[in-house]
Chain A
Amino acid sequence: MREVHLDLAVIGGGPAGLAAALEARRQGLEKVAVIERDIELGGILQQCVHDGFGLHRFGRRMSGGQYAQAFIDEVEAGGIMTECRTMVLRVSGDKKIYAVSSHKGMTLYHCRAIILAMGCRERTRNQIFIYGARPSGVLTAGTVQRYINMEGYLPGKKAVILGSGDIGLIMARRMILEGMEVEGVYEVMAHPGGLTRNIVQCLEDYDIPLHLSTTVSQIHGQERLEGVSVARVDQQRRPVKESERYIPCDLLVLAVGLIPETELARGAGIKINPLSNGPEVDQDFATSVPGIFAAGNLVAVFDLVDYVSATGETAAKGAARYLENPKAAHPRAYRVNTGENVSLAVPQIVYEGQAAQDLSLFLRVKQPGPKAALICACAGRELSRKKERFVAPPEMLAAKVPAGTFIGADLLLEIKGE
């Protein structure tokens, strides 16, 4: 078996992994590798041909491929080993990575530190309880995106979209532009799952109807999808039989949410946070296993690629600090607790001491509403307060612990109406 010795292995060559590898080199780490299962770097950005990326980082509206290219060019300029077409099978708690590829066979990577950046996967029909026959023509939005934008196949002629997550909205527009028919978008919740700008620019611009509190109750067809039944749902989100109606279609697109890809993390014995469903991380994005860090959408689904890249850089700085003295004991740890109207927080752990620089805490709101204050408090003392004109669950927010603040107790994140 091929064996490779590394200072840092980054698993996943998407936006989090690329930013992490580059930052690790800037921090002076010598042997850095990116391990990627696809045939090229870039991750899901490569199938995102739409624009809207990089506004924060590059100050212009780029498409996904352009955003990825900026990082790939820098990675390929040298100093970073890239291992594409390589599938990691197992990560052990003592930082060994077992991987396989068709051209190099099995490889064992001995790593001094690891950054996990595997992103997330999409919920499928099984996870939303669509029962019955398994005809072709029932695909997740990301799969449809890959077929249409990279492979050059149209997976149907007339589509129904279930779920109003951002990828579904973006694919609604793309399918129209590619000459397909999009009958409508159906969302079981009373609020849209995606960002308003996507509702406006992807649905309203093309007169695609959005039906809230409505779901797909049945799919029809044996070999190929022939149609779906949709029905309004009651308060308990159960379909109301009397409201059921049949729509002929040959494609059902599922845009029903993302789940962090945690198999490798679980295999390494890393603790998973029940609110984010990703590895629990501290302010350096270190996981519960020493020397293994996590970044990007694996930690929590961030929506904004700029945030994803930023967490990769934070994790790389953390890994560099760890490698200076792997045996160093952490100061006392405190929790970042979620208070009023907050559904999740990242990171979940902070350490006692004075914050050397501004510390970003990412959070998501439970209920939408106007005029809210985003408050970060420590032992009853307010550390920061940020006014938001409007908060909504699809939009990740960032609270701040200002540089110089002394952290000496658990933190509490709250969103209060004003």
Chain B
Amino acid sequence: MRKVTVTCIVCPSSCRVSVREGGEGLEISGHQCRRGLEHARNEVKNPMRMLTATIAVTGADFNLLPVISSAEIPKKMLIPCLRTVYGLRVQAPVKEGSVILRDVCGTGVDILAARTITRAPAG
């Protein structure tokens, strides 16, 4: 049996919700509302996170282009996906929202440009 405590981040109350994984499913206590219950269940069963990072860009005023996942990915996939994302390179100009990489590591989630970056003027 596994017991974990999840700090709920749904509202500022920050409830400490304890989740016990027993024979007949999850035993959840310490939450004050339904949303807290849901949050704790998701955090234990299948925690999800947005991926945000930067990738190398050439020909722009800055060296990096910020990118964001098109949806949340499983938390355990965050580091493997980041490894792939950090290997990406693009050339300016890039438009915000354009797909930089489809279906990162088989998650079904795309990696998008998180801003428009123009080509730096020559010289």
Contact = CB atoms under 8 A, between A and B. Distances in A.
Interface of A: 39-40, 42, 46, 49-51, 61-66, 68-69, 72-73, 148-152, 177, 195-197, 199-201, 204-205, 370, 388-392, 395
A201 B47 CA distance: 11
Pick the 7 closest A-B CB pairs, nearest first.
A65-B115, A152-B63, A197-B9, A49-B66, A390-B13, A196-B14, A69-B96
Contacts of A62: 68, 114
B107 interface: no
A392 B61 contact: no
A73 B9 CA distance: 32
Q: Which of A199, A200, A391 has the most CB atoms of chain B within a 10 A radius of its CB?
A: A200
B82 interface: yes
B64 A200 contact: no
B62 A50 contact: no
A62 B52 CA distance: 10
Nearest to A397: B12
B53 interface: yes
Interface in B79-99: 82, 96-97
Interface in B47-80: 49-50, 52-54, 56, 61-64, 66, 68, 75
B68 A51 contact: yes
A196 B12 contact: yes
B29 interface: no
Contacts of A72: 116
A63 B68 contact: yes
Given A63-B68, A149-B64, A69 B7 contact: no
Q: Which of B7, B54, B82, B115 has the most CB atoms of chain A within a 10 A radius of its CB?
A: B115
Interface of B: 7, 9, 11-14, 32, 49-50, 52-54, 56, 61-64, 66, 68, 75, 82, 96-97, 114-116
B43 to A, nearest CB: 9
A288 B122 CA distance: 45
B85 to A, nearest CB: 10
Contact of A49 (B7, B53, B75, B82): B53
Contacts of B14: 196, 390
A40 B119 CA distance: 13
Q: Which of B11, B14, B50, B52 has the most CB atoms of chain A within a 10 A radius of its CB?
A: B52
A390 B8 CA distance: 13
A73 B97 CA distance: 13
A201 B82 CA distance: 17
B96 A66 contact: yes
A222 B25 CA distance: 58
A211 to B, nearest CB: 17
A63 B11 contact: no
A51 B50 CA distance: 7
Nearest to B112: A66
Given A201-B9, A204-B7, A389-B12, A63 B63 contact: no
Given A39-B61, A51-B52, 15 more contacts: A49-B53, A51-B50, A62-B114, A63-B66, A65-B114, A66-B114, A148-B54, A149-B54, A150-B64, A197-B9, A200-B9, A205-B49, A388-B12, A389-B32, A392-B12
